[in-house]
Structure 1
């Protein structure tokens, strides 16, 4: 069985007030093309379908179209809710959709039954465990000792009564201990939402969602596929991809990644204003990409972002890296204060604050200003 693992679509997301919807439309079409090219039979979407529990209408319409396109290809589709989703909205209409091979995880009720498919090697059981918190599990298993997220997920799995002699895939959406984070995830401070990877022992494959960087955690078969798009500049150097599994007989899974090419990339560039506006430096790049620009000029450029947007229209962030910004911002006590002139005192203060001396023009302005003040007094 050939399976595609997706997660964290975050349909309807905005990044720095930029709507990502057009980019998401583009990347979902690319994913459909990969499904066709690779002859994928089953698609897993491991949570965070939407970016918020009340998604905008255009987000609902886009996911509806994506499901329709998957259904028209006669592939099996498994979808669970993530921490950004409303479980009730994800599960809505699920019983009717099973007739079209679309399986939506119901709201967790303590009873997770496998959905079984068949291939040349026999049966494959899919267990759909949406994002759960300890309180969700305690509600149905009040006699269990559940103190943290690891306890909660372990109790949920123990009560699935999985036969580990069979081929089993778990689809879930949690933060597994040891996963490498980006800035765009919602993780509880202090890591109290960590789940130990040991609770997944016995499954042939664990299709994870929640973490935005593609990675395995502890074992090759416990895997995050990552987001299909970059959602923060901490992901600028990531190569986004889809994960493909060739699931053969028991214990025999082959993994591959197919890179995704976005409509607009998310990049970081730096240099002086002159360098970044020099045509030879940008003419062979996609200037429509989402950019974080760092200017290295020592002097601030008036209306820099407005001017740069005439070349790079999708600047999301602009900042400076120079002697002034690298300084500590603290002003040390000035030695021999009584022996220094007002100009020398100001020159010392300027250097302390800006990590550089005044220019000749600034010195002249300051001398004239001090002379004028002293004349008037």
Structure 2
């Protein structure tokens, strides 16, 4: 049997001021095309289906379109919620969905949900583990000793009494680490994951009973530990740190107990995301301009700050998301010890030094007044004048 593993769709997401609805619709159609080409029997969706807990109308419409098309193809769907999803909203209509072979698990309620997929004479048990917190697990498994987050997931799996003689697949949205290192982070998941230290990390050996583990939460496609424990990654690039990612969809063929084949099928976006670096005139020279509709992050190496650089850039690349600088001034600032600079210095002195380093000239009194006003409104400056 063939399974397609996807996750971190983030339907309804925008990129800066740019709406991604058309890009996500294009991506969903491409996924449906892969389902047809690969003769997929079931789709595993590993959480963060929506970008926000309260999804937009466009986001819910896209999910309805995708699930309806899978149901029309008689393709089974196994979906769990992620930390971006609302349990209630993603679970809405789940009983009706089951009649069309769409199975959704959005909240852990004391048991690991299990469904058996049968294709011909072959059977695979598919387990669904939505995003959980240790406190949720303690509420139901009162006898289990649960301290770190890893304990909570192990307790859930122990209680599930998994028959290891059968084909077993798990769909989960968690932060899973290898035996010696963490997965490669990128995008919006980075900050939240790094801030929890080791508390919410799960060892990949936790999943040894499973022939394949379909993970969501990390946007960079990769295996964790063994090749059968895998993050599909987000199907689109959602941040600058993902510009070098080669997005793909894992197609898993279960050939029998312990026999799993994995093929990574590339996904091509409607509009790519690229990072350009160099002087503005060089980057925008006609001979260097390619794919102007792509989403662009630009790093300018010009020594002087260019007035309305964004406006100039968007005349050529209308979907420019962000512009920053890498020159002698910015590198000098990066090497400065901020704590020592701020020590025994007034607000005016700090702003004057910063302005001088950035622009190579003195700040005017009028400009300083503006900075003082902004600082007071932000609560940084408390003096009267």
TM-score (norm 2): 0.84
Q: Contact conserved, 1:327 with 1:355, CA < 8 A, in 2?
A: no
Equivalence for 1:44: 44
SS for the counterpart of 1:159 is helix
Taking the TM superposition and a 5 Å limit, the aligned residue runs for 1:170-185 are 170-177=170-177, 178-185=182-189
Aligned partners of 1:172, 1:31: CA distance in 2, in Å?
A: 20
How far is the alpha carbon of 1:217 from its aligned partner? 0.5
Q: Distance in 1 between matches of 2:357 and 2:53?
A: 46
The residue aligned with 2:226 is: 219
Among 305, 311, 327, the residue aligned to 2:316: 311
**Which of these two proteins has the greater Rg computed from alpha carbons?**
1
The residue number in structure 2 matching 1:233 is 240
Q: Which secondary structure does the structure 1 equivalent of 2:215 belong to?
A: strand
- SS at structure 2 position matched to 1:37: helix
Gaps of 5+ in 1: 332-348, 363-377
2:214 pairs with one of 201, 204, 207: 207
> 1:302 aligns to what?
307
Aligned equivalents of 1:187, 1:256: Cα separation in 2: 28
The structural deviation recorded for 1:264 is: 0.9
Q: CA deviation at 1:165?
A: 0.8
Per-residue Cα deviation, 1:202-247 (whole angstroms, up to 9, x for no partner): 1111111111111110011111110000110000000111110111
Q: Aligned residue for 1:4? A: 4
The secondary structure found in structure 2 opposite 1:146 is: coil
What's the Cα RMSD here?
2.1
Distance of 2:18 and 2:147 partners within structure 1: 40
Aligned to 1:119: 119
Alpha-carbon deviation of 1:121?
4.9
The separation in 1 between residues aligned to 2:12 and 2:198, in whole angstroms, is 27
How far did 1:286 drift?
A: 1.0
Measured after TM superposition, the shift of residue 196 of structure 1 is: 1.0
Evaluate the alpha carbon distance shift between residue 193 and residue 139 of structure 1 in structure 2; reply closer, same or farther with a 3 A threshold: same
Establish whether residue 271 from structure 1 lines up as the match of residue 278 from structure 2: yes
Q: Deviations over 1:26-68 (max 9, x none)?
A: 1011111111111111101011100111111111111011100
Query: Which residue of structure 1 aligns with residue 367 of structure 2?
Result: none
Deviation at 1:318, TM superposition (A): 0.3
- Is the CA contact (8 Å cut-off) linking 1:323 and 1:354 kept in structure 2? no
Give the secondary-structure state (helix, strand or coil) at the position aligned to 1:55: coil
The aligned counterpart of 2:193 is 187
Instruction: Give aligned pairs, total.
Output: 339
Residue 259 of structure 2 is aligned to residue 255 of structure 1? no
Separation (CA, whole Å) in 2 of partners of 1:325 and 1:105? 48
Question: Unmatched 5+ residue regions in structure 2?
Answer: 338-351, 362-385
Seen in structure 2, the aligned counterparts of structure 1 residues 287 and 294 have a Cα distance that, compared at 3 Å, is: same
